[in-house]
Structure formats: C-alpha cells, structure tokens
C-alpha cells in the first residue's frame, strides 16, 4: 500500500511507525455531557455542544458520555476525550488492552487500539459507514459495502473473536529516563504497558516492557525498539538510536504467502496483519476481470514494493504474464526482481510512479499501444495516488485498474478523479486488516466507461 503526506516508500518504512500526533494542550478544557451521534474518519466519534461539533475519542454512536475537552482552539469544532460513560452502547465491551481503557486517565491511555472497546462486529459496521460516507461525499457514488474479517485459516494464532494477536510489527519508544512503551493516544508521551495484546505471541514474548531494559537501552542512546515477527524464522528485536542510517546491506527476512516466498529488508514495508498479505493476494486475484486481462499487454504493478501483488497477478494468469513492478525504493525493487524471477515477462523498475507514468505517456504515440489493453494494480501510500497520478494513468487508457487502498478518504478522492477522467468503479471489497483500530483496507476495480 504504499504524495502530500506520503507513506514512506516500501522498504524504508519503520516497523510499526505511526503518523505524528499533536501535543496535548497545557490546560484541560471543560467537561461536557455529550450525546454521541456517529463515527468520523480517524477513529473518533461526533457529538455536538451548543451547535459546535465535538470530536470525542473512546465513544460509540448512541452513547451518552462525559468528555474532557482537550483542544478548543478551533472556531468550528473541539476535540475531547471520554472520561465517563453515562449511557453505554450494547456494543461496548471491556477494552482488549487494559492500558488503553477509558478507566485510565486520557493522557495515560496507550495509543493504537482506538476501537478496542467496541465489539468486533460493530467495529466493522463503523468502518463500512466511514467508507460509504467518504465515497458519497467525495467520490460522488452511493455504494453499499461490507467490511470482512481475515479468513482464520490465513492467520494462525489470531483471535477472530477479540481481534487480538495479529500485529507482526511493533515499535516501542524509549524515553530519556529509560522508560519503554508505546505513545499515548494522540500524543508523543511514552506510557508504560504490561502487555501488547494486538501483537503476535512471538513479539509479546520478546518485548522489553520492564523499566530495567529501558534504562539499559537509554545508556546507549536508544530512542526506539522495533519488534519484527516474520512468517518464517524467529522474531527479532532491533534497537534504534538517534541518527540511525540504513546500512548498505541491511539484514533481510523472508515472508511466506501460500507457496511463495518474498525476501525483503528486515525494516522494509510488509503488511502488518499476519494474514493480510494472503488476504490481499486473493482479493487482487479476484478483482482482476479475466475477460479484460491480456497477458501480453504492458501490465503494471505500481507502488509495487517487493512484488507481492505482481506475484498475485502472475500466479493467477501464468508465468508468461508480462508485468512491470514500479517502486521508488531501490532496495525493495532489487528484492522484487529476485522475488519475481519465476516470470519470463516480469521486470522491476526503480522509479517514482508519477515520473514513470510521465515517461510512458511521453513515449506513447500513434504507433504504440501505451497501456491500452493492460491491467494496472495500484497500491499507493496512505495519502492515495493523487490527482496527477490518476489523471496520467487514465490518459494511458488501461483496460482495468485494481486499486488497493488503506485510507477511505484518500480512496474516495481518487474515485472522483477516476470518474472525471472516464473510469467508473465496478467492484469494491473491504477487509478488516487492522482489528481494534479505525483503519480499513479496500480493493476496488475501475474500468473505462464505454
């Protein structure tokens, strides 16, 4: 999945890295009683106070809560944290991560599990609501969508009822005094925790959650600890220090998806959920319309990383399939070339997608096909492909585009651009690859309007 706020290039994204969050205000605001109306993008709920929108964390639509205002610096909206649930939703449960529970003071709640207080079925309904709303408001289409869980057969060890035990990458932070832990929700304050329930068992078993380990690491300048549990081999703990640079030949790991293996840098991008890579492989294979697929066309895998989705296409349509995977990170591209060596027609290109498409457009003329007849798999960063990339891509007139999206709003913006350039969405599936968080993955197919 990986150009405004750009998700780091595949192969360079720190394991478990999260987007920067604003610091909490120095002085707390008033405590309000709020009736929660609906869910908003980003994992917060929406309420109103005296005509002003209040975005409130740790609440569920239909509840009445007491909430502490934490940011009143905007004319049109405030932000708040639930401190007491007065009228609970029937979908509220004991939080899967005790250290993130509403029972804790807001500043001490661990971040990264903002839906952990909601039963899994309702989480998926809320994610579908956000996706549906974004498509309607920004994409201009009304479409029903269901968010499906990962097939348990693809994710051994993951609890399908609680949505725990799935994270194969976790980043813990190390404070100046040696404290080790995640950041508190919506802040850069480190909070100590005794557990990591979203993580796979292999990570929990090696996570240095005690203060003694933190002090030792602080003595050698540690700033973070990355925990990585590949599907083959042992879980690893990597201490990060200020000014770390990627070595010329970084350590590699091997991930297994079905019968196929993928080599990548240990710190490189890979899907975080234990069953996500296999889920997306199946989803992309199902999304490609075989009636439009031409194995001899200039098929493309854009933002291709180490070749996961190019391999999905090749495995469905055969080893003679022509496909080019394009990725900005040279190390990831190097791995992609090796990972796709089974295909006679596969190649891996190191390039920015926008520049690559510009060159394709410049080379296309009346004597060439461009991308006509081609299938394009597009797996952009969280910010989406963006108008420039979508417009250039559709100018090249591929037969179909299969778009893998990790942000519903970014997807919806790109849907609008596809539609404005003559492509309509034909199919859409959504998957809960991030249980107990607000994130959702979608796979859409676009084709030219005839």
Q: Which residues are annotated as a binding site for S-adenosyl-L-methionine?
A: 271, 303, 327, 379
| 3-class state of residue 342 by DSSP | coil
Return d(Cα 176, Cα 321) in angstroms, integer. 53
**Residues present in the chain in total:** 450
Cα dihedral sign, 432-435-436-439: negative
3-state secondary structure 107-126: HHCECCCCCCCECHHHHHHH
Q: Catalytic: 406?
A: yes
Cα torsion angle, 190, 195, 196, 201, sign: positive
Tokens of 213: 């380990």
Instruction: Give the H/E segment covering residue 262.
Output: strand 260-265
For every residue of 204-257, DSSP letters joined together read: HHH---SHHHHHHHHHTTEEEEEEE--SSS--EEEEEETT----SS--EEEEEE
Q: Note the Cα 250 to chain centre separation in Å.
A: 24
Is 108 in contact with 189 (CB distance < 8 Å)?
A: no
- Report the candidate in 342, 353, 351 with the shortest Cα–Cα distance to residue 378: 353
Helices 276-287 and 308-317: angle between axes, nearest 10 degrees: 50
- Is 391 in a helix, a strand, or coil? helix
Contact 145, 139 (CB under 8 A): no
User: Pairing relation of β-strands 45-49 and 38-39?
Assistant: antiparallel
Q: What angle do CA 9, 13, 14 make, to 5 degrees?
A: 170
Q: Please give the sequence-ordered ranges of beta strands (E in DSSP) within 273-320, or none if there are none.
A: 299-302
CA dist 396 and 373 (Å) reads 10
Set 406, 410, 430, 443: catalytic member:
406
- Which residue ranges make up the annotated binding site? 271, 303, 327, 379
Cα 51 from Cα 86, distance rounded (Å): 21
Q: In this structure, are strands 346-350 and 323-327 parallel, antiparallel, or unpaired?
A: parallel
Q: What gap in Å lies between CA 72 and CA 79, rounded to an integer? A: 7
Distance CA 427, CA 143 (A): 10
Residues annotated as part of the active site: 406
């Amino acid at each position: 999945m990986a150009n405004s706020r750009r998700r780091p290039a595949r192969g360079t994204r720190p394991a478990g890295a999260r987007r920067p969050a604003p610091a909490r205000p120095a002085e707390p605001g008033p405590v309000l009683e709020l009736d929660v109306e609906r869910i908003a993008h980003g994992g917060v709920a929406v309420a109103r106070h005296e005509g002003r929108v209040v975005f409130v964390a740790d609440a569920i639509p239909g509840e009445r809560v007491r909430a502490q205002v934490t940011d009143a610096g905007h004319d049109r909206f405030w932000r708040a944290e639930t401190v007491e649930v007065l009228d609970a939703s029937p979908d509220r449960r004991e939080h899967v991560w005790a250290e993130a529970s509403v029972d804790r003071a807001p500043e001490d709640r661990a971040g990264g599990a903002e839906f952990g207080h909601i039963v899994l079925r309702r989480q998926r309904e809320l994610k579908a609501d956000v996706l549906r709303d974004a498509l309607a408001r920004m994409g201009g289409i009304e479409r029903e969508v269901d968010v499906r869980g990962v097939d348990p057969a693809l994710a051994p060890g993951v609890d399908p009822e609680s949505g725990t035990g799935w994270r194969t990458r976790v980043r813990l932070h190390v404070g100046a005094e040696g404290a080790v832990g995640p950041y508190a929700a919506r802040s850069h304050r480190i909070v100590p925790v005794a557990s990591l329930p979203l993580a796979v068992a292999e990570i929990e078993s090696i996570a240095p959650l005690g203060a003694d380990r933190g002090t030792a690491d602080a003595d050698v300048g540690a700033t973070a600890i990355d925990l990585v549990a590949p599907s083959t081999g042992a879980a690893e703990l990597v201490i990060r220090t200020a000014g770390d640079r990627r070595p010329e030949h970084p350590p590699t790991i091997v991930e297994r998806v079905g019968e196929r293996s993928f080599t990548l840098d240990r710190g490189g991008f890979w899907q975080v959920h234990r069953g996500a890579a296999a889920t997306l492989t199946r989803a992309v294979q199902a999304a490609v319309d075989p009636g439009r697929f031409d194995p001899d066309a200039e098929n493309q895998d854009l933002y291709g990383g180490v070749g996961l989705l190019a391999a999905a296409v090749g495995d469905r349509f055969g080893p003679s399939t022509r496909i080019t995977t394009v990725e900005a990170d040279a190390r990831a591209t190097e791995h992609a070339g090796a990972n796709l060596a089974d295909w006679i027609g596969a190649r891996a290109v190191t390039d920015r997608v926008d520049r690559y498409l510009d060159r394709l457009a410049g080379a296309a003329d009346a004597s060439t096909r461009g991308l006509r007849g081609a299938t394009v798999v597009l797996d952009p960063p969280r910010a989406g492909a963006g108008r420039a990339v979508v417009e250039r891509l559709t100018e090249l007139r591929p037969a179909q585009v299969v778009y893998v999206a990790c942000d519903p709003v970014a997807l919806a913006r790109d849907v609008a651009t596809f539609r404005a350039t003559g492509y309509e969405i034909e199919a859409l599936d959504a998957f809960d690859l991030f249980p107990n968080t607000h994130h959702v993955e979608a796979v859409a197919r676009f084709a030219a309007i005839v």
